[in-house]
Structure 1
Amino acid sequence: MLKRLSTLVAVLTVSVLCKAQETFPKNGAYDERTGRYAFTNANIVVDPKTTIQNGTLLIENGMIREVGKQVKIPAGTVVMDLKGKYIYPSLIDLDSDYGMPEVKTERRGGGRQAPQLESNKKGAFGWNQAIQPETEAGQLFAPNTKQAEDLRKIGFGTVLSHSHDGIVRGSGALLTLTDESPNKAMLNGKASSHFSFSKGTSGQTYPSSVMGVVALLRQNYYDAEWYGKSGKSEEKNLSLDAFNQLKGLPSFFETGDKYSLLRADKIGDEFGVQYIIRGGGDEYQRLDEIKATKATLILPLQFPEAYDVADPWDADLISMTQLKHWELAPKNTSEVAKAAIPFALTTAGLKTKNDFWKNIRTAIDYGLSKEKALEALTTLPASLIKAEGQVGSLKAGLLANFLITSTDLFSKDNIIYENWIQGKKFVLAPLNTADLRGTYSLSINNQSTGKLQITGSAEKPEYKVVLQDTLKITPKAVLTNELLTITYQPDKKRQENIRLTGWKSGTGFTGEGVMPNGTVVPWTATLSEPFKAVASKDTAAKKPVETGSIVYPFVGFGNETLPKAETVLIKNATVWTNEKEGILQNTDVLIQNGKIAKIGKSLSAPSGVKTVDGTGKHLTNGIIDEHSHIALFTINEGGQTSSAEVRMSDVINPDDINIYRQLAGGVTTSHLLHGSANSIGGQSALIKLKWGANQSEMLVPQVKTIKFALGENVKQSNWGDITRVRFPQTRMGVEQVFYDHFIRAKEYAQSWKTYNAKKTGAAPRRDLELDALAEILASERFITCHSYVQSEINMLMSVADSLKFNINTFTHILEGYKLADKMSKRKIGGSTFADWWAYKMEVKEAIPYNAALMYHEGVTVAINSDDAEMARRLNQEAAKTVTYGGVPEEEAWKMVTLNPAKLLHVDDKLGSVKTGKDADLVLWNANPLSVYARPEFTMIEGTVYFDRKKDEEKQKTMAVERERLIQKMLSDKAEGRPTQRAQGTQPRMWHCEDIVGVHAEHAEGK
C-alpha cells in the first residue's frame, strides 16, 4: 500500500512539474493546479464497441488518466457524481476551415476582365496559382471564437482544418476547439495534404475545365517526381519542394459528386496515392464502383428539402433525378455502411451547424446504425489522421476530450451538458437541473385559478396553464435555474397578459404576479400530482424509412437491374452486312457471348435460346457517330493555345439522357471530341452507349485520337475584344502554333529516345502535352480536325507533309468538295454534315453535295452529328446523300456505320454484320434509310439497351413513380416541413464552341 502511494505521489509530482514547465511566461500569480477530476457513476462510452456501466473517468492535466469501474480516486480530486448520465468522446470533423483566413475571390476591377495567362504570385513558386502546396494551415491558424463555439455546442472537440482554396491546397492542421492559446490547440501543424477540383481564387485562364484540372494535377505529380530526382539542379521551385514534402501525409481530396469521387480515385491510382475522399452525398447511386476504389470517404449530411410542387406546372420542372435524390439522400450513409465502405462524417455543407443532429438522426431513421455513426465521428477520423493516440476514444493517455450527455448521444431527447476539451470544461446546458415536472394547483391572489402542468423532459420542460373552465393555454415560460417566469393570456380576444415570476419553494413555487391592470399580487403553485413517465409502447428496433428503388443510371429511364448479354437468334431479317455479301434477304443471325456467332439461312436455335422474328424487318450494325459531344461534363479546355494533355475520358457522364435517346435512334457508339476553343484540343474518347454502365465499361480504351481545330473559334473571333489576349489571334498564327508544337514534340521524343538508349544521366521531364503530340508523330494517335475553309485545310495538310505526320480525319469540312482529290491522295477521311450551312461565315460556301463529291473522289466519308438532337436521326442524315449526289444506299449506310469505324480504326470489331465482330446491332421496322424507320431494339455486345416495347412500359412505370414522389413531397409540405422553390435542371446540349467554368460544369453534372 505504501509502495503504491509513493508511486502515486511520484506520478503527481512529475505531472505538476510538467505542468509548470511553460514556454510562455505569465505576468503575476496564476493557478498551478493540475485540474484533476473524477466523473463517477456514469455510462462511459469508451469507443463505439465498448461501454462501461457505472464507471469512473479520471482526468488530470488535460489528459485521461484512468477509465473503469474500480478507479481509485486520489485525494484532492474534484469528484462529480453523474448519476447515470453518459460520457462520450468529443467528436472529430476532418473537413473544416476552422481558424483559416476567409477565402476571397480575387477581383481586378469591375466589368469583364482580360484573361490572366500567368501567375500573379510573387516568389519562386510554381507557374499556376491553383497549385498551392506551400500553403500551411499550421501557419495560417488563428482561433475563431464564434466558429469554435458553434462546433463545441454540437459536440465537436477536434477538427482537421485547411485552407479551402485551389486544386492543391497544401497541408492541414489538427486542432482542438479549446479557447486557450493556439499553441495549446494545435496538435499537429502539418497533419495532412489536401486536394480538390476547384481552382479557388486563382484568376488564371488555365485550367478552365475539370479535365484541365485533372491534367494540371497529373502534370504536377510528374513535375514533382522529376524535380525530386534531378530538377533541383535546373531551377528552384518552392511549390514542388513543398509538394514533395506532403507525399508522406494522409491525402484528402474534396469532390462534389459520385463521378468526381471516381475521377479523384483514378488520379490517385495513377500515382500510387490512396486518397481519403470527401463525397457529395450521392454515393449510393454508384456503390459498386465506389467500393472498388478502396477509398475511405468523408460524407456530408446535407439533404435536399422537398420541392414545392403544389402547382402542377412547377412539378413538371422537377426531374426524376431530383425527385428520387430528395427521397434517397438521407439513405446515403446507411447504404455506404451496408456496402462495407469505411466513412467519416462532416458538418461541411450544412446550411447551419444546428442542422447536424437533426440530419444525423434522420440518417439513423433511414437505416444508419448508431454504432457506425459514432465510429464515423470518433475512432475512424482519429485513425485516418493518425491521431488515435491523442483523440477519438476515452482511454488512458489520450486527451481529455469528452462530452457529458443526458442519455444516448443520438436520442432526440438527448442534451449535451458539457464539452470538455483538453481537460477544460465548456458548459452547454445546466448539468444538475431539478426535475420540476408534475401537475400543480395554481393560486393567484389567494384564489384558486386552475392548474399548471409541466411535462416534457426535465431538461426541456413543456408548460400548460389549465383554467377553471378546462381551457388549456400554452404560456411563454422561462426557467433560469429555479426561477420561473410565466406569461399567458386568459382571454385571447382581450389580449391582456398575466405575468408571474416565482421561485422553487418546497414542492411548489411561490412568487409575485402582475395583473393586466398593473396590480401586483401573490401567487403559488402547489404540487398536487407527481409526473409519471409513460413507458414507450414499442421497444423494438425501429424499421428504416421505406423508399423507392435506386436505378442505373440515376435518371429517368434508368434500370432497377442492369440488362445482361443474351444468346439470341434473329430469324428471317433483311440483313445489311456492309460486307461484300451486301444486303441479305430472309437471313438469320445468331448472337452468342456478345459476338456475332453465325450468319445464314434456316439456322437452328440452341436449346433455351431467345428467338426473335425479323420477318419484314431490317437488321443492321449499330450507328457510329464520329463526332459527338454527348455524355460529357464539359468539352473545352480553352485556357491555353494547346490542351493536348487533357482527356475526354476524364469527364464522361454516364447519366446523360442523350445516351438513351440515341440508343432509341439506333446509335451504339459515339466518338466524344474536345471542342474547338484552341488549335490543339484534347484527347478524344470512344464510348459504347451502354445505358446504366459505368465510365470504364463504356470506354473503348484502345482508340487513341485527338481533336485539332481551325478557323474562327481558335483565333477567338467571337470572344470579344477584351478577351483577345491568348495566342493565336490570326489564321497565320494558327499555322505557327502547329509548327511550334510539333517541332518541340520532335525534340522531346528524341530526348527520350536518347535517354532510353543509354539509361544514364537525368531523365527528361515528362510533359503530358508533348507526349500526346509525340504519339501523333509516331502514328500512335490520330488527328480529327475541326475545319471548314479550303485555305486552312490546305495549310494543315502542308504542315503535316513538312513535319511528316498524318491527318486522320477532317471533320465538318464543308468545303471538302474543293480538295477531295488532295484528301484522297493522303488517305485523309472526311466526317461531315449532310446539309448544314449558313450558320456562320465559314460555312457560306457549303453545299449539300459535299459528302457525295468526296465519296466519288475516293475519300472515306462519314456523316456525323456534332449535335445531341441530330444524332437521333443519323440514319436519315445518311439518306440525304442518296438524294444529294446519288450515293448508292449501301454506301450511304456505310457513312454512319462502317466508314466511321474505319476512321476510328475499329473496323476489325465494329461497323458491319460479320461473324466474330461485336454484336452491336439494331433491328429496324423498315429500311433504315427511310424516314419511317425506327429501331425495335438496339443491342451492344449482345445486351439489349433499348427495347421499344419495354420503353413503353418504362414510361408508364416512371409516371407512377413520379406521382408517388410528388404526393410524398406534398405531404411533407402539409406537415409543415420546409420546402424549396421548384427549380428544374436541363441536360446540357454541348456544341464545339461551348465553354463553361470549372464550377459551372459541376453544376451541369448534378
Structure 2
Amino acid sequence: MRYFLLLFFMLAQVCDAAAQETYPVNGSYDKRPGLYAFINATIVVNADQTISNGILLVKNQKIEAVGQGLSIPKGYIQVDLKGKYIYPSFIDAFTSYGINSASRQSAGFGRTQVFTSTKPGAYAWNEAIRPEIAVKSIFAIDAKKAEDYKKAGFGAVQSINRDGIARGSSVVSTLNNTDESTVILKDQAAAHYSFNKGSSSNSYPSSLMGSISLLRQTYLDATWYKNQKDEYNISLDEFNKTQSLTQIFEVNDVLSVLRADKIGDEFGKQFVFKSDGKEYQRLKEAKATGGSFIIPLTFPKAFDIEDPADARNISFTQLKDWELAPTNPSALEKAGIKFAITSFGLESSAKDFWANLRTAIDHGLSESQALKSLTVIPAEILGVSEQLGTLSKGKLANFIITSDNIFKKDNIIYENWVQGSRFNIAKMDISDLRGTYTVNLDGNPLEIKIGGTTSSYDLNVERKGADSIKVKGNINRTGDLLSMNFNLKKNHEGTIRLNAYISSTSPLSFQGDAILADGTSKKWSASFKEAYKEQAKKESPKPIISTGPIVYPLMAFGYTEAPKAELVLFKNATVWTNEKEGKLSNTDVLIEGGKIKSIGKNLSAGSAKVIDATGKHITPGIIDEHSHIAGSGGINEGAQSVSSEVRIGDIITSEDINIYRQLAGGVTTSQILHGSANAIGGQSQLIKLRWGKSPEELKFEGSDGFIKFALGENVKQSNFQIPGGNLRFPQSRMGVEQVFIDAFTRAKEYKAARAVKGNNVRPDLELDALVEILDNKRFITCHSYVQSEINMLMHVADSMGFKINTFTHILEGYKVADGMQKRGIAASTFSDWWAYKNEVAEAIPYNGKLMHQVGVLTGFNSDDAEMARRLNQEAAKAITYGAMNEEDALKLVTLNPAKMLHIDNRVGSVKVGKDADLVLWSDNPLSIYARAEKTFVDGISYWDIDQDAQKLKALKAEQGRIIQKMIDAKSGGATTVRPVMQRQSLYECETLENLDLSAQNQ
C-alpha cells in the first residue's frame, strides 16, 4: 500500500501538460501522457448532475470521459476514491493574482497639482485612463498565492490590474505551476473599469462625480477617435479594441452599481458588476440593472460592545449590516440575479472563504447556487465555459477531491487537480480504518474499536477478562501512520501510548511500538476482527437564523414599507397660500393622488383620512435653494477651474439621514449644488426629499438644469497651502474674470463648429454645459460675496450673451440690487450671517429686506445641513431685521426659491392642481415654538411627529436586539472587533476634500 501511494505521488507531480514545442529542453526530454482513472467516486459533474460510483478519466490535462461503468484503457493509473467526492475546481472571477500592485499615490487638494499626464508617449491626457494596460504583458505565476487559492478549492482565476478608471484587459489563467505560456487560458478576458483613479498622479479627478465625468468623456472621445485621422492616441485606440470584451465594473457600494449602470445605459454597455456584496440594501434597483454580479463574502465581524459606551459608537446601519450582510447571496438567489462568488477581500483565501461561504449557506444560500456561483457562472462571465466550470469531456482536468459533500463543515479537501496536475492539500486516506481489532500487547487481552468518520476517527478500548474495563482513547492518522493513547484506569496502570503503521490493507492490520505507563517499550500489533457498523444518523434540521427586516434606507428611521399617497382632508387650518388669497382662516385642504384637489370651507371628507388642523397652520413645503446634502464622494471637483462637465445628479445618495431630519423641519425640495472651488463648477441637481426612495426617485422630474459658478477667495485658492510651484489658474480676481471670458469664447466657437453640417468636432461635456447656458437651457447659480466681483460677472454675462439666474450668498447684494433688478437676477442669501471671513466684512442683516424692497426676487437658503432644519426661523429673521410682513417673509423660503428654480408651477404655494408638498405646523410657522407635525411630499407623509416617536421606540428595540445578538456571538466564540465611530461627511460650499479612492479595496 505504502509503495503504491509513493509511486502515485511521484507520478502525479510530473507535469502532464503537452510539451512546449517552442522551448528548448536542457536535459532529457520527458513527455508523459498523464493517464489517470479515478474510480468509485461520487462525481458532481455540475450543480444539477451527480454520478454515484462514477469514473473520471484524465488524459493530457483534459477530461477524457466521465460516467458509470466506463471501460478503463490500458496504461491508466487507477485511483480508488470509494467514499470520496469529485467536484469541479472553483473559478475566482476577481483577483489580482500574478500582478505586482502599482505604487499608490494621490493628487488633489494639499498636494502638488498635476494637470495632465506625466506618462511619456501618445497616451490619454489623464493617467487614470489606461486601457492600454494588458495583464497578459505583466502577468507572472505566483506559486505562493496559487497555493493559497488551491487550498480553498480554486483552480482558475481572472487576474485584473486594479489601477485606474479605465484599467485595460485581464487574463484568465489556471493556478498550475508550470509556466505562463501554458496556464493562460484567455489572454483578453474582459475590459475593466472603476471610479478609482488609482496610482494616477493627476489632480483630476478629485471626486466621485469627476471620475464619472472622465469616464463618460472617454467613451465620447473613443467614438470620435474612430472617425478621425488627425490624431493617434494609444489609449483611445486600445479603449476601442476592448469594447467587444466582457465589460466588468468594480464599485464600492450598491448605489455606485446604479451609477455605473447609468453610464452603461448611456453608451450601450451592459456591465458585470464587482460589488461590495451589499446588494440586499437596494435589491430591486440592483436587479433592474440587468447585470450579472461578482460578489465577495466580506461579512463584517461582530463588534465588542458589551460596554454601553462602546455601543454608542456604532451606528444603526453598522448593526443592521452585520446581521444582514450574510443574507446577501441568498437575497440575490431569490431575486433571480446571476452572480459569481469571489474570495477577494478576505484575509485568508482558504480559512475565511469557507467559513463565510458556510455562513452564507446558513443564511439561506442554497448549496446548488453556491456551486454554480463558483463554477458555471464565473466560467460563463469570463467566456471560458468550453474549458472550465463542469466535469465534462474535453474540458480541462480541473477538479477537487473531497472527503464528503464539499459544503459540510467537517469536509476535507484532499487534492486539487489543475490541468491534470495534482496539488496535495491533505493526506488522502485511501482506506477506511473503522472497525473492531484484536490487540496483541504484552499478554493484555485488549480489543479496540475505531469509529467516528473517516475525517475524524474516535477510539474505544476494552480489556477482556476478570478485570475488564472500557475506556475512550485518542487516535490520529497521518497517511499510513497511526498514533493512539488511552489510560486503563484500574490499578493505576496509567497512559499507554501506541505508534504503528498499516501493515496490511486486506485485511487491515497494524503493528508498531507501545510505550507503557512505566516507560518500558513493547512491540504490539492489531488484527482486523469485524467491520464497523455505522448507525443511521438522524439529520438535525438546520437552525433557522432569524434576522430583522431590511429598511429603506438602511439606517435609523428607515421604512420597511414605503408610505403611499393618500386621500387626506385637513380641517379648519390657517392656510398660508402664498397666492393672492393670502392667509385663510378655518380652511380645509383636500389632497388626492399627490396633488392639491380643493381648498375651501366645509369640504366633504368622503373616504378621505381626516386630520383635525384646528389651531394649526398649513404652508407650502420649504424649498432650500442652496444645499449640499444627499451627495457622496465629494461636493467639489476642484482640480480644474472649469468643471462644468461634472454633475451632482451622478452622486446623489438616498442614504443621508439629513433628508429625514430636514423633513422634520418642513423642507420638501432642495437644490443640491456643487461647491465653490471653481469659477465654473458642476451641474446642480434638484431633489424632493422622498425619504426611503432610490437616488433616481429623489430627483425632481422635469425640472430645469442649473449649474454652480463661484467668485472670490475659494476660486483663486487664497487659503490653500499647496506645495510646489504648479498652481492652478486663476490666482487672482482678475484671473477669475479671464476664466469666464475664455470658457464662453471656447463654448461659442464649439457651438458654431458643431453646427456645421458633416462636422466631426469632438464632443466635449464641459463645453456642452456652457452651450446650454448660452441657449437658455441651463441656468446659473453663482456663489458671490463682494460687490466688485458681482458687477464683474454681470458685465461678463452682458458681453458674452448669457444670463445669470441667481446670485447665492451675495451678502453685499444690497449694494448692487439695482443692477440685479434690471437684469432680472434673483438673490438667494443668508438671513444674518456676517463677519465670518474677510469677504463678508460688510455684510448686514438687512440685506435680504433691502434686495426685496428694490424688487429683486429674494430667498433665504441654508448651505448647511443643520440650518436647513430651521429655515422657517431664518425666514422670520426678515421680520426682525427690516420689518418684512409675515407672508412675504414665508415666501423667502417657499414661493421665491420656487420661482428661482423655475418650479413655481408645481410647488411654492398652496393652490389647486399643484403638488401636495405641504407642512402642517403646530403654531405660526414663523414662530420659534412652531414644530412641523406632518410633512407631505407628493401627498405622501414622509414626516409625522407621532410616527417618529413610534419609530424611535422601535429603533431602540431593534438596536437592543442586535446588540444582544452580537454579545451572544462573542460568547459563542465569534471574532469581534473594537467599535470605530463612522462620522458622516457634512458638505458646505467650501468643503474641499481630496477623495483618495486609491486606498479603497486594496
- TM-score scaled by length of structure 1: 0.92
Secondary structure in 1 matching 2:189:
strand
**Alignment partners' CA distance in 1, 2:197 and 2:896:** 41
2:105, 2:198 within 8 Å by CA — same for their partners in 1? Answer: no
Partner in structure 1 of residue 194 of structure 2:
196
1:117 offset after TM fit, Å?
2.1
1:753 and 2:750 matched: no
Q: 1:150 and 1:168, CA in 2 relative to 1: closer, same or farther beyond 3 A?
A: same
1:63 offset after TM fit, Å?
1.6
1:260 offset after TM fit, Å?
1.0
Secondary structure in 2 matching 1:562:
coil
Partner of residue 422 from structure 1, selected from 415, 419, 422: 419
**Alignment partners' CA distance in 1, 2:28 and 2:560:** 71
The amino acid across from 2:160 in the alignment is H
Partner in structure 1 of residue 21 of structure 2:
22
The amino acid across from 2:762 in the alignment is R
Range 515-524 or range 401-410, more displaced = 515-524
Secondary structure in 2 matching 1:234:
coil
1:72 offset after TM fit, Å?
2.8
Q: 1:556 and 1:438, CA in 2 relative to 1: closer, same or farther beyond 3 A?
A: farther
Partner in structure 2 of residue 665 of structure 1:
665
Partner of residue 962 from structure 1, selected from 950, 959, 969: 959
**Alignment partners' CA distance in 2, 1:636 and 1:451:** 80
Partner in structure 1 of residue 6 of structure 2:
none
Partner in structure 1 of residue 131 of structure 2:
133
Partner in structure 1 of residue 215 of structure 2:
217
Structure 1 residues 707-746: aligned runs within 5 Å = 707-722=708-723, 725-746=727-748
**Alignment partners' CA distance in 1, 2:173 and 2:534:** 42
Partner in structure 2 of residue 333 of structure 1:
329
**Alignment partners' CA distance in 1, 2:612 and 2:998:** 45
1:199-222 deviations in Å (ceiling 9; x for gaps): 111121100011000000000000
1:604-643 deviations in Å (ceiling 9; x for gaps): 123x221111111101110000000111112111111111
Partner of residue 860 from structure 1, selected from 857, 860, 867: 857
1:763 offset after TM fit, Å?
1.9
Partner in structure 1 of residue 429 of structure 2:
432
Structure 1 residues 548-563: aligned runs within 5 Å = 548-563=548-563
2:644, 2:770 within 8 Å by CA — same for their partners in 1? Answer: yes
Identity rate of aligned residues, in percent? 53
Structure 1 residues 475-490: aligned runs within 5 Å = 479-485=477-483
1:367, 1:543 within 8 Å by CA — same for their partners in 2? Answer: no
1:810, 1:828 within 8 Å by CA — same for their partners in 2? Answer: yes
1:520 offset after TM fit, Å?
5.2
Partner of residue 850 from structure 1, selected from 847, 850, 854: 847
1:533 offset after TM fit, Å?
4.2
Partner in structure 2 of residue 884 of structure 1:
881
Partner in structure 1 of residue 573 of structure 2:
573
1:343-382 deviations in Å (ceiling 9; x for gaps): 1110111111121111111111111111111111111111
**Alignment partners' CA distance in 2, 1:881 and 1:699:** 30
The amino acid across from 2:279 in the alignment is E
2:272, 2:294 within 8 Å by CA — same for their partners in 1? Answer: yes
**Alignment partners' CA distance in 2, 1:187 and 1:958:** 52
**Alignment partners' CA distance in 2, 1:936 and 1:39:** 74
1:531 offset after TM fit, Å?
5.6
**Alignment partners' CA distance in 1, 2:527 and 2:20:** 57
1:427 offset after TM fit, Å?
2.0
1:34 offset after TM fit, Å?
2.0
Range 417-426 or range 430-439, more displaced = 430-439
Secondary structure in 1 matching 2:723:
helix
Partner in structure 1 of residue 898 of structure 2:
901
**Alignment partners' CA distance in 2, 1:731 and 1:741:** 16
The amino acid across from 1:635 in the alignment is I
- TM-score scaled by length of structure 2: 0.92
Partner in structure 2 of residue 319 of structure 1:
315
Structure 1 residues 452-531: aligned runs within 5 Å = 456-461=452-457, 479-485=477-483, 501-504=499-502, 510-512=511-513
2:876, 2:889 within 8 Å by CA — same for their partners in 1? Answer: yes
**Alignment partners' CA distance in 1, 2:694 and 2:462:** 64
Partner in structure 2 of residue 69 of structure 1:
68
The amino acid across from 1:197 in the alignment is F
1:583 and 2:583 matched: yes
1:123-142 deviations in Å (ceiling 9; x for gaps): 11001111110000111111
* Count of paired positions: 972
Q: 1:870 and 1:106, CA in 2 relative to 1: closer, same or farther beyond 3 A?
A: closer
1:755-787 deviations in Å (ceiling 9; x for gaps): xxx2x2x42100000001111111111111111
1:163-219 deviations in Å (ceiling 9; x for gaps): 111111100111111111211101111121001111111121100011000000000
Partner in structure 2 of residue 344 of structure 1:
340
**Alignment partners' CA distance in 2, 1:731 and 1:76:** 87
**Alignment partners' CA distance in 2, 1:885 and 1:990:** 31
Range 635-644 or range 413-422, more displaced = 413-422
**Alignment partners' CA distance in 1, 2:529 and 2:77:** 38
**Alignment partners' CA distance in 2, 1:625 and 1:884:** 21
1:445-480 deviations in Å (ceiling 9; x for gaps): 8779x99886653224467999999999997x7532
Partner in structure 2 of residue 677 of structure 1:
677
2:106, 2:198 within 8 Å by CA — same for their partners in 1? Answer: no
**Alignment partners' CA distance in 2, 1:113 and 1:704:** 33
Q: 1:381 and 1:409, CA in 2 relative to 1: closer, same or farther beyond 3 A?
A: same
Structure 1 residues 865-876: aligned runs within 5 Å = 865-876=862-873
**Alignment partners' CA distance in 2, 1:464 and 1:958:** 54
1:579, 1:914 within 8 Å by CA — same for their partners in 2? Answer: yes
Q: 1:403 and 1:837, CA in 2 relative to 1: closer, same or farther beyond 3 A?
A: same
Secondary structure in 2 matching 1:28:
coil
The amino acid across from 2:185 in the alignment is L
2:80, 2:430 within 8 Å by CA — same for their partners in 1? Answer: no
The amino acid across from 1:847 in the alignment is I
Q: 1:845 and 1:516, CA in 2 relative to 1: closer, same or farther beyond 3 A?
A: farther
1:558 offset after TM fit, Å?
0.4
Structure 1 residues 164-243: aligned runs within 5 Å = 164-230=162-228, 233-243=229-239
Q: 1:535 and 1:842, CA in 2 relative to 1: closer, same or farther beyond 3 A?
A: farther
2:471, 2:486 within 8 Å by CA — same for their partners in 1? Answer: no
The amino acid across from 2:667 in the alignment is V
Partner of residue 274 from structure 2, selected from 272, 275, 278: 278
The amino acid across from 1:618 in the alignment is H
RMSD over aligned Cα atoms: 2.9
1:264 and 2:260 matched: yes
1:824 and 2:821 matched: yes
The amino acid across from 1:60 in the alignment is K
**Alignment partners' CA distance in 2, 1:804 and 1:895:** 29
1:573-595 deviations in Å (ceiling 9; x for gaps): 11100011101111111111111
1:751, 1:764 within 8 Å by CA — same for their partners in 2? Answer: yes
2:249, 2:260 within 8 Å by CA — same for their partners in 1? Answer: yes
Secondary structure in 2 matching 1:901:
helix
Partner in structure 2 of residue 96 of structure 1:
95
Partner in structure 1 of residue 614 of structure 2:
615
Range 410-419 or range 952-961, more displaced = 410-419
Partner of residue 410 from structure 2, selected from 398, 409, 413: 413
Partner in structure 2 of residue 704 of structure 1:
705
1:932 offset after TM fit, Å?
0.6
Give the gaps of 5 or more residues in structure 2. Answer: 1-15
**Alignment partners' CA distance in 1, 2:220 and 2:669:** 33
1:824 offset after TM fit, Å?
1.0
2:132, 2:168 within 8 Å by CA — same for their partners in 1? Answer: yes
Give the gaps of 5 or more residues in structure 1. Answer: 1-16
Secondary structure in 1 matching 2:182:
helix
Partner in structure 1 of residue 597 of structure 2:
597
The amino acid across from 1:732 in the alignment is M
**Alignment partners' CA distance in 2, 1:645 and 1:471:** 83
1:966 offset after TM fit, Å?
0.4
Partner in structure 1 of residue 379 of structure 2:
382
2:471, 2:488 within 8 Å by CA — same for their partners in 1? Answer: no
1:433, 1:458 within 8 Å by CA — same for their partners in 2? Answer: no
**Alignment partners' CA distance in 2, 1:620 and 1:767:** 44
Partner in structure 2 of residue 6 of structure 1:
none
1:1001 offset after TM fit, Å?
11
**Alignment partners' CA distance in 2, 1:964 and 1:529:** 53
The amino acid across from 2:877 in the alignment is K
**Alignment partners' CA distance in 2, 1:488 and 1:564:** 71
The amino acid across from 2:733 in the alignment is R
**Alignment partners' CA distance in 2, 1:710 and 1:89:** 63
Partner in structure 2 of residue 372 of structure 1:
369
Secondary structure in 2 matching 1:159:
strand
